[in-house]
Structure 1
Protein backbone atom coordinates (compact mmCIF):
# COMPACT_ATOMS: atom_id res chain seq x y z
CA UNK A 1 0.00 0.00 0.00
CA UNK A 2 1.50 3.28 -1.10
CA UNK A 3 1.78 6.16 1.30
CA UNK A 4 -0.08 9.26 0.27
CA UNK A 5 2.08 12.36 -0.03
CA UNK A 6 0.58 15.62 1.13
CA UNK A 7 1.37 18.68 -0.92
CA UNK A 8 2.58 21.71 1.01
CA UNK A 9 2.72 25.26 -0.22
CA UNK A 10 5.28 27.83 0.97
CA UNK A 11 2.54 29.58 2.93
CA UNK A 12 1.74 26.55 5.00
CA UNK A 13 3.35 26.67 8.44
CA UNK A 14 6.12 24.18 9.09
CA UNK A 15 5.78 22.07 12.15
CA UNK A 16 8.53 22.70 14.69
CA UNK A 17 10.06 20.24 17.02
CA UNK A 18 9.21 20.66 20.67
CA UNK A 19 12.77 21.66 21.59
CA UNK A 20 13.28 24.12 18.75
CA UNK A 21 11.81 27.11 20.52
CA UNK A 22 13.80 26.38 23.64
CA UNK A 23 17.08 26.09 21.69
CA UNK A 24 16.72 29.63 20.42
CA UNK A 25 16.38 31.19 23.85
CA UNK A 26 20.12 31.10 24.71
CA UNK A 27 20.90 32.77 21.37
CA UNK A 28 18.41 35.49 22.09
CA UNK A 29 19.91 35.96 25.53
CA UNK A 30 23.41 36.17 24.03
CA UNK A 31 22.22 38.79 21.55
CA UNK A 32 20.68 40.79 24.35
CA UNK A 33 23.88 40.53 26.39
CA UNK A 34 25.97 41.44 23.34
CA UNK A 35 23.85 44.50 22.76
CA UNK A 36 24.59 45.76 26.24
CA UNK A 37 28.38 45.17 25.92
CA UNK A 38 29.13 48.27 23.79
CA UNK A 39 27.32 50.43 26.30
CA UNK A 40 29.39 49.00 29.15
CA UNK A 41 32.58 49.48 27.13
CA UNK A 42 31.69 53.09 26.45
CA UNK A 43 31.12 53.70 30.16
CA UNK A 44 34.49 52.15 31.00
CA UNK A 45 36.22 54.30 28.36
CA UNK A 46 34.63 57.44 29.77
CA UNK A 47 35.77 56.49 33.27
CA UNK A 48 39.33 55.86 32.06
CA UNK A 49 39.34 59.15 30.18
CA UNK A 50 38.17 61.03 33.25
CA UNK A 51 40.89 59.45 35.40
CA UNK A 52 43.56 60.21 32.76
CA UNK A 53 42.62 63.89 32.47
CA UNK A 54 44.70 64.68 35.52
CA UNK A 55 47.83 63.15 33.99
CA UNK A 56 47.95 65.79 31.27
CA UNK A 57 48.37 68.49 33.89
CA UNK A 58 51.48 66.91 35.42
CA UNK A 59 54.75 68.71 34.58
CA UNK A 60 57.00 66.90 32.10
CA UNK A 61 60.71 67.00 32.76
CA UNK A 62 62.79 67.20 29.58
CA UNK A 63 65.21 64.31 29.11
CA UNK A 64 68.78 65.51 29.40
CA UNK A 65 71.73 63.59 28.03
CA UNK A 66 74.81 63.21 30.12
CA UNK A 67 77.58 65.64 29.17
CA UNK A 68 79.88 64.01 26.63
CA UNK A 69 83.52 64.47 25.79
CA UNK A 70 84.08 66.20 22.47
CA UNK A 71 87.07 63.99 21.62
CA UNK A 72 86.03 60.42 22.43
CA UNK A 73 82.23 61.06 22.35
CA UNK A 74 81.74 59.22 25.63
CA UNK A 75 80.12 60.48 28.87
CA UNK A 76 82.55 62.59 30.86
CA UNK A 77 82.26 60.22 33.82
CA UNK A 78 83.82 57.43 31.76
CA UNK A 79 85.94 59.55 29.42
CA UNK A 80 88.79 57.64 27.79
CA UNK A 81 90.90 60.62 26.76
CA UNK A 82 93.39 60.21 29.66
CA UNK A 83 94.19 56.76 28.27
CA UNK A 84 94.63 57.89 24.67
CA UNK A 85 98.06 58.90 23.40
CA UNK A 86 98.83 62.59 23.74
CA UNK A 87 100.03 62.70 20.15
CA UNK A 88 98.85 60.40 17.34
CA UNK A 89 101.06 57.41 16.69
CA UNK A 90 103.17 57.71 13.57
CA UNK A 91 102.68 54.63 11.42
CA UNK A 92 103.74 53.93 7.86
CA UNK A 93 100.72 51.77 7.00
CA UNK A 94 97.31 53.10 5.99
CA UNK A 95 94.28 51.45 7.60
CA UNK A 96 90.94 51.10 5.85
CA UNK A 97 88.24 49.96 8.28
CA UNK A 98 85.14 48.54 6.60
CA UNK A 99 82.45 48.93 9.24
CA UNK A 100 79.07 47.23 9.14
CA UNK A 101 76.22 49.78 9.58
CA UNK A 102 75.00 47.97 12.70
CA UNK A 103 78.31 48.72 14.45
CA UNK A 104 78.08 52.48 13.92
CA UNK A 105 75.62 53.19 16.76
CA UNK A 106 76.89 50.69 19.32
CA UNK A 107 77.82 52.19 22.67
CA UNK A 108 80.97 50.09 23.11
CA UNK A 109 82.31 50.55 19.59
CA UNK A 110 86.11 50.53 19.49
CA UNK A 111 86.76 51.96 16.03
CA UNK A 112 86.63 55.59 17.32
CA UNK A 113 89.29 54.67 19.89
CA UNK A 114 91.59 53.38 17.17
CA UNK A 115 90.93 56.41 15.00
CA UNK A 116 91.75 58.71 17.94
CA UNK A 117 95.16 57.03 18.36
CA UNK A 118 96.22 57.43 14.72
CA UNK A 119 96.65 60.38 12.34
CA UNK A 120 93.54 61.23 10.35
CA UNK A 121 95.23 60.53 7.01
CA UNK A 122 96.31 57.05 8.19
CA UNK A 123 92.94 55.69 9.29
CA UNK A 124 89.82 55.83 7.11
CA UNK A 125 86.46 54.34 8.10
CA UNK A 126 83.98 53.31 5.41
CA UNK A 127 80.49 52.25 6.50
CA UNK A 128 78.39 49.93 4.38
CA UNK A 129 77.60 46.38 3.30
CA UNK A 130 78.28 46.47 -0.44
CA UNK A 131 81.20 48.10 -2.22
CA UNK A 132 82.01 48.19 -5.91
CA UNK A 133 84.31 49.99 -8.30
CA UNK A 134 81.50 52.28 -9.42
CA UNK A 135 80.42 53.22 -5.90
CA UNK A 136 83.89 53.59 -4.39
CA UNK A 137 86.69 53.98 -6.95
CA UNK A 138 89.18 54.92 -4.21
CA UNK A 139 88.66 51.63 -2.37
CA UNK A 140 88.79 49.74 -5.65
CA UNK A 141 92.19 51.26 -6.43
CA UNK A 142 93.49 50.32 -2.98
CA UNK A 143 92.29 46.71 -3.28
CA UNK A 144 94.06 46.28 -6.62
CA UNK A 145 97.47 47.30 -5.28
CA UNK A 146 99.98 44.50 -4.75
CA UNK A 147 101.06 45.81 -1.33
CA UNK A 148 97.53 45.82 0.14
CA UNK A 149 96.51 43.21 2.71
CA UNK A 150 93.10 42.31 4.11
CA UNK A 151 92.81 40.99 7.65
CA UNK A 152 90.35 38.09 7.55
CA UNK A 153 90.89 34.52 8.85
CA UNK A 154 90.57 31.53 6.61
CA UNK A 155 92.33 28.53 5.11
CA UNK A 156 94.11 30.71 2.56
CA UNK A 157 95.15 33.39 5.06
CA UNK A 158 98.84 33.79 5.90
CA UNK A 159 100.20 34.78 9.28
CA UNK A 160 100.50 38.57 9.26
CA UNK A 161 103.69 38.79 11.30
CA UNK A 162 105.46 36.05 9.37
CA UNK A 163 104.35 37.58 6.09
CA UNK A 164 105.77 40.98 7.02
CA UNK A 165 109.07 39.47 8.15
CA UNK A 166 109.48 37.31 5.04
CA UNK A 167 108.04 39.63 2.40
CA UNK A 168 110.43 42.01 0.63
CA UNK A 169 107.61 44.54 0.24
CA UNK A 170 106.23 46.16 3.37
CA UNK A 171 102.42 46.50 3.15
CA UNK A 172 101.25 50.04 2.52
CA UNK A 173 97.58 49.39 3.34
CA UNK A 174 95.70 46.95 5.57
CA UNK A 175 91.93 46.50 5.25
CA UNK A 176 90.04 45.50 8.41
CA UNK A 177 86.37 44.46 8.56
CA UNK A 178 84.52 45.61 11.68
CA UNK A 179 81.42 43.62 12.65
CA UNK A 180 80.22 40.35 14.11
CA UNK A 181 81.45 37.12 12.57
CA UNK A 182 78.33 36.74 10.45
CA UNK A 183 78.44 40.39 9.36
CA UNK A 184 82.14 40.22 8.48
CA UNK A 185 81.61 36.99 6.55
CA UNK A 186 78.77 38.56 4.58
CA UNK A 187 80.88 41.61 3.72
CA UNK A 188 83.95 39.58 2.75
CA UNK A 189 82.29 37.00 0.51
CA UNK A 190 79.71 39.26 -1.14
CA UNK A 191 82.19 41.93 -2.22
CA UNK A 192 84.58 40.70 -4.89
CA UNK A 193 86.92 43.65 -4.25
CA UNK A 194 87.93 42.25 -0.86
CA UNK A 195 89.19 39.01 -2.36
CA UNK A 196 91.75 40.81 -4.51
CA UNK A 197 94.28 41.71 -1.75
CA UNK A 198 96.45 39.17 0.03
CA UNK A 199 94.46 37.57 2.86
CA UNK A 200 96.17 37.44 6.27
CA UNK A 201 95.28 36.67 9.87
CA UNK A 202 96.97 37.47 13.16
CA UNK A 203 98.85 35.00 15.36
CA UNK A 204 101.45 35.65 18.02
CA UNK A 205 104.90 35.29 16.55
CA UNK A 206 107.95 34.08 18.48
CA UNK A 207 110.26 36.57 16.82
CA UNK A 208 111.92 38.72 19.49
CA UNK A 209 112.70 41.39 16.92
CA UNK A 210 109.04 41.88 16.07
CA UNK A 211 107.94 41.79 19.70
CA UNK A 212 110.49 44.35 20.82
CA UNK A 213 109.64 46.63 17.91
CA UNK A 214 105.88 46.55 18.42
CA UNK A 215 105.69 46.17 22.20
CA UNK A 216 105.40 49.88 22.95
CA UNK A 217 102.88 50.53 20.14
CA UNK A 218 100.79 47.56 21.21
CA UNK A 219 100.79 48.73 24.82
CA UNK A 220 99.72 52.22 23.75
CA UNK A 221 96.88 50.92 21.59
CA UNK A 222 95.63 48.54 24.29
CA UNK A 223 95.42 51.19 27.02
CA UNK A 224 92.05 52.67 25.94
CA UNK A 225 90.61 49.19 25.38
CA UNK A 226 91.70 48.09 28.85
CA UNK A 227 90.22 51.26 30.34
CA UNK A 228 86.95 50.62 28.51
CA UNK A 229 86.74 47.11 29.97
CA UNK A 230 87.62 48.44 33.43
CA UNK A 231 84.83 51.02 33.28
CA UNK A 232 82.33 48.34 32.29
CA UNK A 233 83.34 46.11 35.21
CA UNK A 234 83.06 49.03 37.63
CA UNK A 235 79.49 49.69 36.48
CA UNK A 236 78.12 46.16 36.81
CA UNK A 237 79.41 44.24 33.79
CA UNK A 238 80.09 40.55 34.33
CA UNK A 239 83.19 38.66 33.21
CA UNK A 240 82.37 35.91 30.73
CA UNK A 241 84.95 33.20 30.26
CA UNK A 242 85.33 31.46 26.93
CA UNK A 243 84.19 27.89 26.42
CA UNK A 244 87.81 26.91 25.79
CA UNK A 245 88.87 28.27 29.19
CA UNK A 246 85.98 26.56 30.97
CA UNK A 247 86.75 23.21 29.34
CA UNK A 248 90.48 23.34 30.08
CA UNK A 249 89.94 24.22 33.74
CA UNK A 250 87.07 21.81 34.38
CA UNK A 251 84.56 24.62 34.90
CA UNK A 252 82.21 23.85 32.02
CA UNK A 253 78.75 23.72 33.69
CA UNK A 254 76.92 21.68 31.04
CA UNK A 255 77.22 17.91 30.54
CA UNK A 256 79.47 16.79 27.72
CA UNK A 257 77.60 15.92 24.52
CA UNK A 258 77.00 12.28 23.64
CA UNK A 259 77.19 12.91 19.91
CA UNK A 260 80.63 11.81 18.67
CA UNK A 261 80.97 14.69 16.23
CA UNK A 262 80.18 17.31 18.88
CA UNK A 263 82.43 15.54 21.38
CA UNK A 264 85.27 15.61 18.86
CA UNK A 265 84.83 19.37 18.46
CA UNK A 266 85.03 19.78 22.23
CA UNK A 267 88.30 17.82 22.31
CA UNK A 268 89.80 19.91 19.52
CA UNK A 269 88.75 23.08 21.32
CA UNK A 270 90.42 21.91 24.55
CA UNK A 271 93.64 21.16 22.66
CA UNK A 272 93.62 24.59 20.95
CA UNK A 273 93.36 22.99 17.53
CA UNK A 274 91.54 24.97 14.85
CA UNK A 275 88.18 23.36 14.12
Structure 2
Protein backbone atom coordinates (compact mmCIF):
# COMPACT_ATOMS: atom_id res chain seq x y z
CA UNK A 1 0.00 0.00 0.00
CA UNK A 2 1.42 3.39 -1.02
CA UNK A 3 1.80 6.38 1.29
CA UNK A 4 -1.13 8.14 -0.40
CA UNK A 5 -3.40 5.15 0.18
CA UNK A 6 -2.32 4.92 3.82
CA UNK A 7 -3.08 8.59 4.33
CA UNK A 8 -6.46 8.26 2.66
CA UNK A 9 -7.35 5.28 4.88
CA UNK A 10 -6.31 7.27 7.96
CA UNK A 11 -8.50 10.18 6.86
CA UNK A 12 -11.46 7.87 6.28
CA UNK A 13 -11.01 6.34 9.73
CA UNK A 14 -10.88 9.75 11.40
CA UNK A 15 -13.95 10.87 9.50
CA UNK A 16 -15.83 7.75 10.61
CA UNK A 17 -15.02 8.63 14.22
CA UNK A 18 -16.66 12.01 13.71
CA UNK A 19 -19.97 10.33 12.89
CA UNK A 20 -20.05 8.01 15.93
CA UNK A 21 -23.19 8.82 17.89
CA UNK A 22 -22.57 9.55 21.58
CA UNK A 23 -25.19 8.62 24.16
CA UNK A 24 -28.72 9.10 22.88
CA UNK A 25 -27.94 11.85 20.45
CA UNK A 26 -30.40 11.67 17.56
CA UNK A 27 -29.06 11.18 14.08
CA UNK A 28 -29.41 14.16 11.80
CA UNK A 29 -31.99 13.75 9.01
CA UNK A 30 -30.44 12.99 5.64
CA UNK A 31 -31.38 14.29 2.22
CA UNK A 32 -32.90 11.50 0.11
CA UNK A 33 -31.02 12.67 -2.97
CA UNK A 34 -27.43 13.33 -1.88
CA UNK A 35 -27.57 11.41 1.45
CA UNK A 36 -25.93 14.29 3.29
CA UNK A 37 -27.39 15.92 6.43
CA UNK A 38 -30.19 18.21 5.28
CA UNK A 39 -28.58 21.31 6.77
CA UNK A 40 -25.49 20.83 4.57
CA UNK A 41 -27.24 19.39 1.50
CA UNK A 42 -25.99 20.63 -1.87
CA UNK A 43 -29.04 19.60 -3.92
CA UNK A 44 -30.52 23.11 -3.92
CA UNK A 45 -28.01 24.11 -6.60
CA UNK A 46 -29.34 21.40 -8.93
CA UNK A 47 -32.99 22.34 -8.72
CA UNK A 48 -35.67 19.73 -9.28
CA UNK A 49 -34.55 18.61 -12.73
CA UNK A 50 -31.68 16.44 -13.94
CA UNK A 51 -29.26 17.27 -16.73
CA UNK A 52 -30.02 15.49 -19.98
CA UNK A 53 -26.60 15.07 -21.59
CA UNK A 54 -26.03 13.34 -24.90
CA UNK A 55 -22.94 11.49 -23.67
CA UNK A 56 -22.92 8.85 -20.98
CA UNK A 57 -20.61 8.99 -17.96
CA UNK A 58 -19.33 5.66 -16.66
CA UNK A 59 -17.40 5.68 -13.39
CA UNK A 60 -15.23 2.66 -12.58
CA UNK A 61 -14.84 3.09 -8.85
CA UNK A 62 -12.34 1.47 -6.50
CA UNK A 63 -14.22 -0.22 -3.60
CA UNK A 64 -12.36 1.88 -1.02
CA UNK A 65 -13.60 5.09 -2.62
CA UNK A 66 -17.06 4.54 -1.17
CA UNK A 67 -15.56 5.03 2.31
CA UNK A 68 -14.02 8.39 1.45
CA UNK A 69 -15.53 11.53 2.85
CA UNK A 70 -16.74 14.28 0.57
CA UNK A 71 -16.72 12.19 -2.59
CA UNK A 72 -17.80 13.98 -5.76
CA UNK A 73 -19.12 11.04 -7.83
CA UNK A 74 -22.50 11.26 -5.99
CA UNK A 75 -22.97 14.69 -7.58
CA UNK A 76 -22.89 13.06 -11.01
CA UNK A 77 -25.32 10.39 -9.89
CA UNK A 78 -27.73 13.00 -8.51
CA UNK A 79 -27.43 15.41 -11.45
CA UNK A 80 -27.42 13.25 -14.58
CA UNK A 81 -30.48 11.66 -16.14
CA UNK A 82 -31.09 8.00 -15.40
CA UNK A 83 -29.21 5.95 -17.98
CA UNK A 84 -26.62 8.67 -18.58
CA UNK A 85 -24.66 7.76 -15.45
CA UNK A 86 -23.33 4.31 -14.60
CA UNK A 87 -21.15 3.38 -11.64
CA UNK A 88 -19.35 0.07 -11.33
CA UNK A 89 -17.24 -0.90 -8.32
CA UNK A 90 -14.19 -3.14 -8.58
CA UNK A 91 -10.43 -3.38 -8.91
CA UNK A 92 -10.31 -5.13 -12.30
CA UNK A 93 -12.66 -4.45 -15.17
CA UNK A 94 -13.44 -6.60 -18.18
CA UNK A 95 -16.55 -7.71 -20.05
CA UNK A 96 -16.54 -11.21 -18.58
CA UNK A 97 -16.42 -9.87 -15.04
CA UNK A 98 -18.99 -7.16 -15.79
CA UNK A 99 -21.02 -8.41 -18.79
CA UNK A 100 -23.26 -5.33 -18.65
CA UNK A 101 -20.17 -3.30 -19.62
CA UNK A 102 -19.31 -5.37 -22.71
CA UNK A 103 -21.03 -3.09 -25.21
CA UNK A 104 -19.44 0.03 -23.72
CA UNK A 105 -15.95 -1.47 -23.49
CA UNK A 106 -16.11 -2.49 -27.16
CA UNK A 107 -17.74 0.71 -28.44
CA UNK A 108 -15.35 2.77 -30.63
CA UNK A 109 -16.96 5.90 -29.17
CA UNK A 110 -15.91 4.98 -25.63
CA UNK A 111 -13.09 7.16 -24.31
CA UNK A 112 -11.10 6.74 -21.10
CA UNK A 113 -9.99 9.78 -19.13
CA UNK A 114 -6.50 8.70 -18.17
CA UNK A 115 -3.24 10.63 -18.65
CA UNK A 116 -0.50 9.06 -20.70
CA UNK A 117 1.84 9.59 -23.62
CA UNK A 118 -0.85 8.50 -26.08
CA UNK A 119 -3.71 10.41 -24.45
CA UNK A 120 -5.42 12.92 -26.75
CA UNK A 121 -6.57 16.29 -25.47
CA UNK A 122 -10.36 16.24 -25.09
CA UNK A 123 -10.44 19.63 -26.81
CA UNK A 124 -9.06 18.00 -29.98
CA UNK A 125 -11.90 15.49 -30.31
CA UNK A 126 -14.83 16.08 -32.68
CA UNK A 127 -17.79 17.60 -30.87
CA UNK A 128 -20.94 15.54 -30.60
CA UNK A 129 -22.87 16.06 -33.83
CA UNK A 130 -19.84 17.41 -35.70
CA UNK A 131 -19.26 15.39 -38.88
CA UNK A 132 -21.89 12.92 -37.65
CA UNK A 133 -19.96 12.24 -34.45
CA UNK A 134 -22.17 10.12 -32.13
CA UNK A 135 -22.29 10.77 -28.36
CA UNK A 136 -19.32 9.45 -26.42
CA UNK A 137 -19.15 7.05 -23.52
CA UNK A 138 -16.96 8.97 -21.08
CA UNK A 139 -15.20 6.53 -18.74
CA UNK A 140 -13.55 7.79 -15.55
CA UNK A 141 -11.54 5.80 -13.01
CA UNK A 142 -12.49 6.92 -9.50
CA UNK A 143 -9.92 6.38 -6.74
CA UNK A 144 -6.60 7.67 -5.47
CA UNK A 145 -3.89 8.05 -8.08
CA UNK A 146 -2.21 4.83 -6.93
CA UNK A 147 -5.52 2.96 -7.02
CA UNK A 148 -6.33 4.34 -10.49
CA UNK A 149 -2.95 3.20 -11.84
CA UNK A 150 -3.46 -0.27 -10.38
CA UNK A 151 -7.00 -0.53 -11.78
CA UNK A 152 -5.79 0.54 -15.21
CA UNK A 153 -2.82 -1.83 -15.36
CA UNK A 154 -4.94 -4.75 -14.11
CA UNK A 155 -7.64 -4.17 -16.74
CA UNK A 156 -6.39 -4.91 -20.28
CA UNK A 157 -9.71 -3.87 -21.83
CA UNK A 158 -9.33 -0.42 -20.31
CA UNK A 159 -5.90 -0.20 -21.91
CA UNK A 160 -7.49 -0.86 -25.30
CA UNK A 161 -9.73 2.20 -25.01
CA UNK A 162 -8.86 5.54 -26.55
CA UNK A 163 -7.20 7.60 -23.81
CA UNK A 164 -8.01 11.28 -23.37
CA UNK A 165 -6.99 13.96 -20.91
CA UNK A 166 -7.59 17.62 -20.15
CA UNK A 167 -5.08 20.30 -21.05
CA UNK A 168 -4.09 21.23 -17.50
CA UNK A 169 -5.29 24.82 -17.80
CA UNK A 170 -8.32 24.23 -15.57
CA UNK A 171 -8.23 25.13 -11.88
CA UNK A 172 -9.97 22.88 -9.35
CA UNK A 173 -12.89 24.23 -7.33
CA UNK A 174 -12.31 21.47 -4.77
CA UNK A 175 -10.48 23.89 -2.49
CA UNK A 176 -10.75 21.88 0.73
CA UNK A 177 -8.93 18.78 -0.45
CA UNK A 178 -5.32 18.39 -1.48
CA UNK A 179 -4.83 17.14 -5.03
CA UNK A 180 -1.73 15.12 -6.05
CA UNK A 181 -0.73 17.76 -8.63
CA UNK A 182 -1.61 21.40 -9.25
CA UNK A 183 -3.63 20.54 -12.36
CA UNK A 184 -5.49 17.56 -10.85
CA UNK A 185 -9.27 17.70 -10.77
CA UNK A 186 -11.98 15.87 -8.86
CA UNK A 187 -14.15 13.25 -10.53
CA UNK A 188 -17.11 15.58 -10.99
CA UNK A 189 -14.91 18.37 -12.38
CA UNK A 190 -13.23 16.04 -14.89
CA UNK A 191 -16.61 14.85 -16.11
CA UNK A 192 -18.10 18.35 -16.15
CA UNK A 193 -15.31 19.87 -18.24
CA UNK A 194 -15.16 16.94 -20.65
CA UNK A 195 -18.94 16.95 -21.18
CA UNK A 196 -18.98 20.72 -21.68
CA UNK A 197 -16.23 20.48 -24.30
CA UNK A 198 -17.63 17.46 -26.14
CA UNK A 199 -21.16 18.83 -26.24
CA UNK A 200 -20.17 22.50 -26.55
CA UNK A 201 -22.41 23.40 -23.64
CA UNK A 202 -20.75 25.07 -20.67
CA UNK A 203 -23.99 25.18 -18.71
CA UNK A 204 -23.27 21.50 -18.00
CA UNK A 205 -20.08 22.50 -16.20
CA UNK A 206 -21.81 25.27 -14.25
CA UNK A 207 -24.58 22.93 -13.10
CA UNK A 208 -22.33 20.03 -12.11
CA UNK A 209 -19.75 22.12 -10.26
CA UNK A 210 -22.38 24.12 -8.35
CA UNK A 211 -22.89 21.38 -5.72
CA UNK A 212 -19.11 21.05 -5.27
CA UNK A 213 -18.83 24.77 -4.56
CA UNK A 214 -21.63 24.56 -1.98
CA UNK A 215 -20.03 21.49 -0.39
CA UNK A 216 -16.74 23.38 0.01
CA UNK A 217 -18.52 26.46 1.38
CA UNK A 218 -20.24 24.33 4.04
CA UNK A 219 -16.94 22.77 5.07
CA UNK A 220 -15.15 26.12 5.27
CA UNK A 221 -18.00 27.53 7.40
CA UNK A 222 -17.39 24.64 9.80
CA UNK A 223 -13.66 25.17 10.11
CA UNK A 224 -12.05 23.60 7.06
CA UNK A 225 -9.05 25.51 5.70
CA UNK A 226 -8.07 26.09 2.07
CA UNK A 227 -4.69 24.48 2.57
CA UNK A 228 -3.06 21.28 1.39
CA UNK A 229 -1.13 21.21 4.67
CA UNK A 230 -4.27 20.67 6.75
CA UNK A 231 -5.65 17.42 5.39
CA UNK A 232 -5.99 15.46 8.64
CA UNK A 233 -7.31 18.32 10.78
CA UNK A 234 -9.82 19.23 8.08
CA UNK A 235 -11.11 15.67 7.91
CA UNK A 236 -11.79 15.64 11.65
CA UNK A 237 -14.07 18.61 11.13
CA UNK A 238 -15.88 17.18 8.09
CA UNK A 239 -19.65 17.33 8.51
Residue in structure 1 matched with residue 77 of structure 2 by the alignment? 115
Residue of structure 1 aligned with 2:116, choices 144, 149, 154: 154
Task: Report 1 or 2 for greater relative contact order, CA contacts < 8 Å, sequence distance ≥ 6.
Answer: 2
Q: Tell me the TM-score normalised to structure 1 length.
A: 0.60
Residue in structure 2 matched with residue 164 of structure 1 by the alignment? 126
Q: 1:1-275 to 2 correspondence within 5 Å?
A: 61-165=23-127, 168=131, 169-203=133-167, 213-240=200-227
What is the deviation of 1:171?
4.0
Contact 2:126/2:198 (<8 A) preserved: no
CA RMSD of aligned residues (A): 2.6
What is the deviation of 1:67?
1.4
Q: Tell me the TM-score normalised to structure 2 length.
A: 0.68
Aligned length: 180
Report the CA distance shift for 1:202/1:64 in structure 2 as closer, same or farther (over 3 A).
same
Flag structure 1 segments of 5+ consecutive residues without an equivalent. 1-59, 243-275
Report the CA distance shift for 1:157/1:212 in structure 2 as closer, same or farther (over 3 A).
closer
Contact 1:85/1:220 (<8 A) preserved: no
Report the CA distance shift for 1:211/1:219 in structure 2 as closer, same or farther (over 3 A).
farther
Task: Give, in whole Å, the separation in 1 of the partners of 2:149 and 2:198.
Answer: 30
Runs of 4+ in 1 over 4 A off after TM superposition: 165-168, 209-212
Q: Which has the larger radius of gyration?
A: 1
What is the deviation of 1:95?
1.1
